Amino acid sequence: MKAEIIAVGSELLLGQITNTNATYISKQLANIGIDIYYHTVVGDNDVRLKDAIEVAKGRSDLLIFTGGLGPTKDDVTKETVAQIVEQPLVYDPASLQAIEEFFTSRNKTMTENNKKQALVIKGSTVLANECGLAPGMAVVKDGIYYLLFPGPPKELQPMFENAGKPYLTSNLPDLVPLESRVLRFFGIGESRLETELMDIIEAQSNPTIAPLAGEGEVTLRLTVKHIEPDVRKQMLDEVEKKIVERVGEFLYGYDDTSLLEEVIDTLLKQNMTISTAESLTGGMFSEQLTNLPGASSFFKGAIVCYATKVKETLLGVSSETLQQFGAVSKETAIEMARQIKQLCDSNIGISFTGVAGPDPQEDKPVGTVFIAIATNTKEVVHELHITGSRQQIRERTIKNGCYYLVKELKKVE
């Protein structure tokens, strides 16, 4: 079955709101084995909506509509679909009663146009709206399924979960569930990752492998279709094993995790604490760590030592190191990490020093970065040359710091 989502609303075309409904529905359909082939967005215009439906009928078996079920004149979805399926609109008694009770319970007068929300396509399956007024509906014509949902996500999502999905799974019994697993990589570019895995990617049809580049990292989405959950897991495990054998050193996590979340999770699991000394990042890393409620259980403190004098007087980096090697050096980075660890009495100290731009510093070009990590047993420093804007250099420095932290923490496990 080929599915198409048709989102109705001029506000979507104007960029006033984001089409989050399409993202949600696509994920839900994929989970039950329905392939999404097209996303369409059309304004509140019955002529253009009818044209969009005619195009969709020629290429899709399941049309899912969001929006346009409200009480105003520009809510045209069900009227237009009713014309397409050649059925009149009729009042649904249960929906009309619910709307009347809504206004009565609030001591408000129900205007006549609100009754419009209780209109449904004759012969359709009504999908109850537990969080709003306008019901959804499902109707079949000439082998094509039309499902209509309200636009507000707070109404659409529970309706889809409680009524839409059960309708689809009961009326389309041959669906084969789909399952995905996302592998997250850092420290390797998309082109190199794809080159390393090209023969595996080309040989796969089920599971499929889809690379996707993000900000400073790469993901691989493994997607499998099979009726049995145990078989799906086995198939995903097998292809993941092949991938890890080649590029496992760059794998840091799965699915919706992030480098920062991996750092925090590992610190919590190992009951370890961290402190930070930040120069070019200006406290950005500490701010990200403390965004998590309960951060005091793993985060001891930080010093933002932007000026060289502060590195010496407040953090305790030796004047000899600063004079001989400069503030942007591996030697200074190591002392910064060592000193912050001691000052905060933490298990780990991490430091960031470098040149974010726009001008060079100490004859070091923009993008020169040193990240040092001090633990109870070792001290390591990494020299990087990062490209991008000033903000990108700072953000990418933090991501690299998280990656190196994850690698060091994994060694302790």
Instruction: Render pLDDT for 61-78 as a digit per residue (tens, 0 to 9).
Output: 999 999 999 999 899 999
The per-residue pLDDT for 386 is: 96
Tens digits of residue pLDDT in 344-358: 999 999 999 999 999
First vs last C-alpha separation in the chain: 47
Total residue count of the chain as it appears in this document: 413
> Hey, what amino acid is at 261?
E
Sheet of 62-66, strands arranged across:
35-42, 2-8, 62-66, 144-149, 136-141, 125-127
Q: Give alpha helix (H) positions in 180-283.
A: 190-203, 229-247, 259-269
- Res. 412: pLDDT tops 80: no
Tens digits of residue pLDDT in 15-45: 999 999 999 999 999 889 898 999 999 999 9
Q: Give, in words, the CATH class of 259-412.
A: alpha beta
- Res. 161: pLDDT tops 70: yes
Q: CATH topology of 2-171 equal to that of 178-254? A: no
DSSP three-state, residue 397: helix
CA 313/CA 318 separation, integer angstroms: 9
Strand-pair partners of 334: none
Average pLDDT over the chain reads 95
Tell me if 216 sits within 8 A of 244, measured CB to CB.
no
Phi, psi of 327 (to 5 degrees): -70, -30
Q: Give, in words, the CATH class of 2-171.
A: alpha beta
Whose CA is closest to 412, among 371, 376, 372, 370? 376
User: In the block, which residue shows the tokens 């799906």?
Assistant: 232
pTM for this prediction? 0.78
CA 265/CA 256 separation, integer angstroms: 13
CA 196/CA 154 separation, integer angstroms: 43
- At 177, the pLDDT band (50, 70, 90 cuts) reads confident
CA angle (308 as vertex; 305, 312 as ends), nearest 5: 80
Average pLDDT over residues 370-395: 96
CA 21/CA 312 separation, integer angstroms: 53
- At 174, the pLDDT band (50, 70, 90 cuts) reads confident
Tell me if 398 sits within 8 A of 392, measured CB to CB.
no
The per-residue pLDDT for 86 is: 97
**Cβ neighbours of residue 242 closer than 8 Å, sequence gap 6 or more:** 200
- At 413, the pLDDT band (50, 70, 90 cuts) reads low
CATH of domain 178-254: 3.30.70.2860
DSSP three-state, residue 177: coil
Tens digits of residue pLDDT in 366-382: 999 999 999 999 999 99
- Res. 343: pLDDT tops 80: yes
Tens digits of residue pLDDT in 268-292: 999 999 999 999 999 999 999 999 8
For residue 2, what are the CA distances in angstroms to 29, 49, 50, 228, 413? 11, 19, 19, 22, 46
Domain layout of the chain by residue ranges: 2-171, 178-254, 259-412
CA 81/CA 68 separation, integer angstroms: 11
Structure tokens at 211: 């690379």
- At 262, the pLDDT band (50, 70, 90 cuts) reads very high
The per-residue pLDDT for 137 is: 98
**Cβ neighbours of residue 262 closer than 8 Å, sequence gap 6 or more:** 252, 253, 402, 406
The per-residue pLDDT for 215 is: 78
Which helix (H) or strand (E) segment holds residue 276: the answer is strand 274-278
Structure tokens at 3: 């599915």
